Amino acid sequence: MNRKIQQLLLCTAILLTGPCLAADHPSTEINALTASPANFTLLLENEHVRVLEYVLLPGEQDKWHTHPPKVSYVLSGGKLEIHLEDGTSFIADEKTGTADWAGVRGKHYVKNVGSTSVRILLVEDKAAAREAASPPSSPLK
């Protein structure tokens, strides 16, 4: 069979089975806003960004969630313990007035182990999230 016909058949098979494969493998994303509505508040959403305010009181813990690529700005700092899906954890000392960029963050939950309320402004980048979610393209040769 001619190489171009083989490539065309392969592309057709991928296009036809892609939706079925996606249905068999649900997304691993866990929306923080719906997972922990007591801790995340939607401030703004449009086609470009989603802006959330995150609040965690001393001793409080949120629920398992993930994050798309985002900028964070610490409004009120404190000491957080971040628990990862693999069973490990680490301490993050959030400093008031600091800003940070982070790519996709996998499944985790956070506990405020300090004595102050922590408030963080999160600006999720929807274009970066779409880019991170789409598989890399490879041109047919």
pLDDT at 36: 97
Structure-token pair, residue 29: 């994303």
Q: How confident is the model at residue 3 (pLDDT cuts 50, 70, 90)?
A: low
Contact 137, 94 (CB under 8 A): no
Strand 40-45 to 89-94 pairing:
unpaired
What DSSP string describes 57-101?
-TT-B--SEEE-SEEEEEEE-EEEEEEETTS-EEEEEEPTT-EEE
Span 36-68, pLDDT tens digits = 999 999 999 999 999 999 999 999 999 999 999
Q: At which residue do the structure tokens 């798309």 appear?
A: 68
Between 19 and 99, the more confident residue is 99
Q: Mind listing the pLDDT tens digit for each residue in 88-102?
A: 999 999 999 999 999
